[in-house]
Structure formats: structure tokens, C-alpha cells
Structure 1
């Protein structure tokens, strides 16, 4: 199990690679996730970058959401359609802050437990680290389901295991 929230998925589509990339291109606004843009109206479902054999997209949202998954995908042609290899992960900044606060909480727990001998504070800090981590996983999984529903509707694909 990876430390940071992550999920993978393989989709099989009866559409060719060109059709899938065309469908994604129609609903994706090309943008760099590291650049700041003030967007007023967006008629697209996704923001991201689409390349020849891969893409990196996320749902368009109206307000900030730390647990929104970044969908990275690779696509391969097959004689009967195409196969998409998807990876859902946190945006790098969200992963950084999750890791940062969990490390700080664990260090505070060690400080209070081993150096100060304030065991109640150590347990509280350790509890906060686990609570923060569990909260992040739970909300990330919920946001993945939302992104998957939209993505699957666009591609009209069948999921494989």
C-alpha cells in the first residue's frame, strides 16, 4: 500500500485510440496545472494536458479541493479497440502537505513522548497523524468515484480487473 493516496485502473474501450483521444480532447481544456489562470467560465469537463499516447487531466471544479485526483493515463491500440491504463493520485502540492503534516505530527509525538514525557500530548499528536491520514484517504476515494463516473461516461468503456 503506497503512503500517499493512489489508485490504478485499466479500461477497455471498443473505440480506437484516435477516437478515445478525440473524445478526451473535446471535453478537456488544455492547461498547465502549475500555471495560474483566472478562469471565469469553463465549458469543459476536464483540465489538463493531452499528448499523443498519454494524458494528465482532472475534473473542472468551482472551488479549491485538496483531494481532487489527478488522472494520468496511457493508451494503447488493440485490434478490437483500445486499452487505457489510468492512475489516480493526489496533486503534488496536496501530497506534499499531507506528508508534511504527518511528519510534523509524528515528530511532535516523539518529542512529547520521549523527551518531555508528556504521554497524553504524544498520544494526541499520534492520533492527529492517523486521523489526518485516514481523512485524506477517505475523501480521496470519494473524489475518485466522482471522477471515474464522468470519465467512464465520456468513454463509454467497460472496466476490467
Structure 2
């Protein structure tokens, strides 16, 4: 593994309507952990659901996992609570990044928070430019990535739906979606 002094940290954004944003990021989480990097995963939306990737991460001593969201929020009954939770998770994420303890940080589903105007894209972009350590890799996932975040990222991938099992009546599958 390259030392921090010799590493260029990359900011990546996975966005779009298609499947695979978080899945791709989790692949990078395990790749970084495999190289001995200290990894921090912070989930903004998914909440306390049991997932295969979280179970797999328990097998690594260099992956720290935080599933902090209130769950999927498009049918929320309490938007004030969703805002409060998202703001608290964002503050937690900034503290983790500022700690400089991690080589790789994943902010899973943070883009949704921007789409709902709970955290501004400009606020995230400013933090990345001003406070992210230059050697740290940072990945942000979720639909509707704000333009300000896209502008400061090094790599942006938009997932596009061509065909999806859900539209054929197939429910989320263990091992594929969770």
C-alpha cells in the first residue's frame, strides 16, 4: 500500500437511476480493505437493515461500519426527523473524515439527502475542497448527485436503467440487492 504521503486521494460519485451505485462502492470498500487500508462506511438512508455487505465487513478488522439512517424516506411521515437525522449523520461523517484515521470513506446514499434539501451540495463540496485530507479516498453514492459535488469529484459515474428485475415483478433478492 502506498504511504499517505505518496497517495493521491480520489473523490468518486456514483449517481443515476440505475442499480449498482452502492454495490460498486462496496466493491471498492473491500478492495481498499484487502490492501490494508483503514475504511469507514457511513450509511445515510438504509438504517438498521441487515445486509450481506455489512455481514461480510465484520470479517475485516479494518472496516468500520455505521448504518445510521432512518430507512427509506420517500414515504416519510416525519420530515423534520429525517432532516435532523441526516444533519446529525453529516456532522458525524465530517468528524470521521477530520479525524484522519481512515484511508477510504464511503458516504453511502448521501446524494439522496441533497435531493431532499437536507444537506446542501455546496456544503458538501466546500467540505471536500477545504477539509478532506489529500490522501483520503472518498466515495459518495445516491441518485441526483448535486452539481457542486460532481464539480469537485475526480470521477463521476451515472448508472442508467436499461432493464430492471423489479419492473418484471421480481422483488429485491438477497445476495443481489442486500
For the aligned pair, the TM-score class normalised by the smaller chain equals under 0.3
Structure number with the higher helix fraction is 1
TM-score after normalising by structure 1 = 0.26
Give 1 or 2 for the bigger CA radius of gyration: 1
TM-score after normalising by structure 2 = 0.24
Question: Greater relative contact order: 1 or 2 (C-alpha under 8 angstroms, separation 6 or more)?
Answer: 2
